[in-house]
Structure 1
Amino acid sequence: MSALLSRVLRDLRITPERTFDVPQSERAVPLPSRLATGELAWASVAAVQVAIGAEVVPALDPDRIALAYRSDRFLRIDGEHPDVWSPHSGFWRASDGWIRTHGNYPHHARALLDGLGLDAAAAADDIRAAVAAASARDSVERITRAGGLAVVVSPEDPARDAALCSRPLIELARAGDASPESSRELDSNAPLRGIRVLDLTRVIAGPVCTRTLALLGADVLRIDPPALPEPEWQHLDTGHGKRTAVLDARSAEMNALLGQADVVVLGYRPAALARLGLSPDVLTERHPGLVVAQLSAWGAEHPDRAGFDSLVQAESGIAMVESPDGQAPGVLPAQALDHSAGYLLAAAVCAALNRRRAEGGSWQISTSLRRVAAELLRMPRDSEPSPQHEIDPAGHTQDFSVDGHTVTTVRPVLPWFSFAAPHPWAADAPGW
């Protein structure tokens, strides 16, 4: 844990000696797996604590981190646990292996069925039969051509992971000149108070990042496309403390928001953002002093490829490492690539804002789920998962009233900070 945290701090241009300021936990984070999932989680969260710049760093609660990484399992809306996975998402056996699909969004589910030659009423058994009748690669190609999301479940590729790990886990670079920011006074109870964050992300990793920035006091405004609603449960699980609106990315209103933002967090495909004039290079050129943080599934070398945590686990080799029997693919105990990427991105934003305050400049940050996966695959591992550790959620959750409903979520992982309630999706005006 400490070695990874030290490397992350070097990536963020923070003295690695700050690692010793973080109290070491006597217990591992209880996320049982063969891979070092708990260690990755602890280091990712600890990086935020250090990047804030606090002189005193409180100890992290391993149980709270584990619950936060599995927050979807503890979410309740009026006491009920919502369905969080579509029947179109999962592992399917092909004639020569396995594929993994993701169909949680309706348009992805429709494309998946179209690619397999199935109608909208097709059930899981129909998908299973269609995939079983073809090779894994053939099914993935057909689904992908139709606009769906699927990957071949693959063994790990140590050479590829080594190449990815030759670069920083989280990249932070100065991208232009701007005057230092000297007017904002730091508040230890809300270190990002006065910072405006434009949140152009969805699903888990990006929203975890911006939820963390809101937790630290930032004014976070999430903007979504008007025609692409977010599943309610997903937004409520990661929407704490943010305002949320819909807006056309090409509108004059969007340009005005960008002109007044301190930070922009990007979570859509890099190529799609570039077509909208929202690439990091364009944004920092047009808006000196801006901090732009970009997250993608597969990295800059695959700018037009969409993906999710589950798909990256499957293609990177994680699913086979975590296989319960050496034959069928398995999964990590949480969507740990998403959550770790979110916290690492939040830490980098805090580090960049500290640099901007001290020396000025525009700053660009980037990481990807695939880069996080490579890090996890290169860390020490166990031959068998550690024993399951049951956690009593009492004391680790809190209730909010949201649009007449009682929403129960896991409390934040950072001691001394408390979540504000999430707003209903798209309930706010698109303005600061």
Structure 2
Amino acid sequence: MTGTGREADEAAHGAVDEAAAGAEYVGAEYAWKRLGGDPALLSRVSAVVREGALPARLPVRELARACVAACALAAAELTARRTGRDVPAVRVDDGAVATAFTSERHLLVDGRAPVNFAPLSRFWRTADGTLRTHANYPHHRARFLGALGLPPDASADAVAAELAGRSARAVEEEVYAAGGLAVALRTPGEWAVHPHGAAVAGQDLLERGRLDSAPARVFPPLAGGPLLPMAGLRVLDLTRVIAGPVATRTLALLGADVLRLDAPWLPELPDQHADTGFGKRSATLDLGTDRDAFASLLASADVVVTGYRPGALDRFGLTPEALAARRPGIVVAQVSAWGGGGPWAGRRGFDSLVQVATGIASVEGGPDRPGALPAQALDHGTGHLLAAAVLRALTEQAEEGGTRYARLALARTATWLTRGLGGTGGGGKGRGRDGGRGRPEEDTGAVAPVAVAADAPYTGPDAWLGETGSPLGRLRYALPPVSFAGGPADWSRPPGPWGAQPARWE
């Protein structure tokens, strides 16, 4: 570790407890500002604070609350635009948020618990440290084992024996080169001086912008109940795993017609698809050979959400600029693991790996005994922010028009978390820049804090679980945490089998 890394580690570890204590509401304010929202609307938000929900050294509960609050407020704002009334009151309950952020753990299909991590997705001791791998998908498992020179049926014991004599960072590079996923454990200080860590540190929590002067969007008014701000809008969902599907699951809750498209040769994990498939339809489409079919879908789409590595879909004309030319006035929302700039921009990644690279696992455990956040909070938090960005873009289109885009990354959300939910990127001076001593107002602006509606302990998820029949069987599932007065309390449809619906709009 370099001297700079040691100094960054000392600042990061010294700031953890202060950040956790001081980030109760600044996170929502900061996220809302980054989304371009009117700070005065934060007065519409209240929170039910529940001690014991999502316990961690880092301010995970506050991050989760902030992301959901920003999303719910963006939904309420668009609702007001479509009803001509005041912005409905938003209420964020830590119990609902904690349950939703661990939704994949609460899912039951006909009473069967889900399978969330495969045997080779875990921490491994190496000759010089610790390595985290992700091998849930068969093709990732095969690439990981191939990079180690092990047979496809190698056991966990065989992998452990092989890694015990190798360097974590050398294996990280070898597995990546083979198309697999492995990340060496780093401390916050080591990540701070890593080329990609330095690149992410200079980026904002999210990117958003306007690409052209497309006419202002005209929404038909909402009628009846519940109030669904996305009613009548079509969303093409080209996402996988958790963050992107959480975003589109949220848009479906709010009334969008969401059609998820996957390559027919790349099936999703069944339990993962069930958990994030509420409110949507699922179809398969080969973007390389079915270009006409995709063009037909795009012609009447309002939003495109992608969740692949930066550049992975460019050859299909799915950059924001290309989509703006093909479908002026569309909203393009993109999420990735590592972001679009820096040496790791083109790498695959997942929440668990980003936690390990950015120092979160070290903070939550230690260099010799790494830990983890109490939820895949980078995924769920980023997913809710992505949905919020779509909602805010639609509101801005109604005011000013223009094709809009938004980009988020798990690594940026991780930086926001480790800085105590203060400023990230762009020379901001939020909490974490100076070891947790900076005033959040220096970067976020002085705005009224979110009001506390009540305080209560968190006694478990039962109050925020629902049950329903589905084509997959009887489901127990986490209810949505996004809530505003008059809005929906649940999804309009359960998930169905992966790829079972036709690739067309209803």
TM norm structure 1: 0.94
In 2 relative to 1, CA 94–313 (structure 1 residues): closer, same or farther, beyond 3 Å?
Answer: same
Residue 45 (structure 1) aligns with = 68
What is the correspondence of 1:269-348 to structure 2 with a 5 Å cutoff? Answer: 269-301=309-341, 302-323=344-365, 326-348=367-389
CA distance in 1, matches of 2:49, 2:142: 48
What is the correspondence of 1:71-86 to structure 2 with a 5 Å cutoff? Answer: 71-86=103-118
Q: Is the 8 A contact 1:68 1:411 kept in 2?
A: yes
Question: CA shift at 1:166, angstroms?
Answer: 4.9
Match of 1:225 among 253, 263, 269: 263
Q: Is the 8 A contact 2:126 2:163 kept in 1?
A: yes
Question: CA shift at 1:56, angstroms?
Answer: 2.4
1:6 is the counterpart of 2:46: no
Q: Is the 8 A contact 2:35 2:389 kept in 1?
A: yes
Residue 449 (structure 2) aligns with = none
CA distance in 2, matches of 1:237, 1:364: 27
Q: Is the 8 A contact 1:198 1:265 kept in 2?
A: yes
Residue 232 (structure 2) aligns with = 194
Deviates more, 1:205-214 or 1:243-252: 243-252
CA distance in 2, matches of 1:237, 1:409: 7
Moved over 6 A (4+): 159-163, 380-383
Question: CA shift at 1:430, angstroms?
Answer: 0.3
Q: Deviations over 1:179-222 (max 9, x none)?
A: 11224224561111011000000100000000000000000000
Q: Deviations over 1:69-101 (max 9, x none)?
A: 111111101101022110110111110011110
CA distance in 2, matches of 1:212, 1:39: 20
Question: CA shift at 1:29, angstroms?
Answer: 6.9
1:98 is the counterpart of 2:138: no
Question: CA shift at 1:2, angstroms?
Answer: 2.3
Q: Is the 8 A contact 1:28 1:38 kept in 2?
A: no
What is the correspondence of 1:1-400 to structure 2 with a 5 Å cutoff? Answer: 1-28=24-51, 30-52=53-75, 53=77, 54=80, 55-156=87-188, 157-158=191-192, 164=200, 166-186=202-222, 189-250=227-288, 251=290, 252-301=292-341, 302-323=344-365, 326-379=367-420, 391-400=459-468
CA distance in 2, matches of 1:186, 1:342: 25
Residue 425 (structure 1) aligns with = 498
CA distance in 2, matches of 1:253, 1:221: 13
> What amino acid sits opposite 1:256 in the alignment?
S
Deviates more, 1:219-228 or 1:276-285: 276-285
Q: Is the 8 A contact 1:165 1:375 kept in 2?
A: no
Q: Is the 8 A contact 1:179 1:360 kept in 2?
A: yes
Give structure 2 stretches of 5+ with no counterpart: 1-23, 81-86, 421-430, 437-456
Q: Deviations over 1:376-429 (max 9, x none)?
A: 01007999xxxxx76333332112222251111111112342123112111100
Q: Secondary structure at the match of 1:23?
A: strand
Q: Is the 8 A contact 1:45 1:343 kept in 2?
A: yes
CA distance in 2, matches of 1:347, 1:7: 13
Question: CA shift at 1:25, angstroms?
Answer: 2.8
Residue 386 (structure 1) aligns with = none
Q: Is the 8 A contact 2:355 2:361 kept in 1?
A: yes
> What amino acid sits opposite 1:141 in the alignment?
E
Q: Is the 8 A contact 2:238 2:261 kept in 1?
A: yes
Deviates more, 1:160-169 or 1:58-67: 160-169
**How many percent of aligned residue pairs carry the same amino acid?**
44
Deviates more, 1:366-375 or 1:293-302: 293-302
Q: Deviations over 1:250-281 (max 9, x none)?
A: 32101111121100001011221112221222
Deviates more, 1:389-398 or 1:49-58: 389-398
CA root-mean-square deviation: 2.0
Q: Deviations over 1:336-388 (max 9, x none)?
A: 000000000000100001111222110010010000000001007999xxxxx
> What amino acid sits opposite 1:378 in the alignment?
R
CA distance in 2, matches of 1:166, 1:9: 20
Q: Is the 8 A contact 1:48 1:346 kept in 2?
A: yes
Deviates more, 1:169-178 or 1:225-234: 169-178
> What amino acid sits opposite 1:210 in the alignment?
T
Q: Is the 8 A contact 1:29 1:63 kept in 2?
A: no
In 2 relative to 1, CA 294–394 (structure 1 residues): closer, same or farther, beyond 3 Å?
Answer: same
CA distance in 1, matches of 2:279, 2:414: 29
Q: Secondary structure at the match of 1:99?
A: strand
Deviates more, 1:182-191 or 1:298-307: 182-191
CA distance in 2, matches of 1:28, 1:366: 32
Q: Is the 8 A contact 2:187 2:367 kept in 1?
A: no
Give structure 1 stretches of 5+ with no counterpart: 384-388
TM norm structure 2: 0.81
Residue 445 (structure 2) aligns with = none
> What amino acid sits opposite 1:425 in the alignment?
W
CA distance in 2, matches of 1:88, 1:177: 50
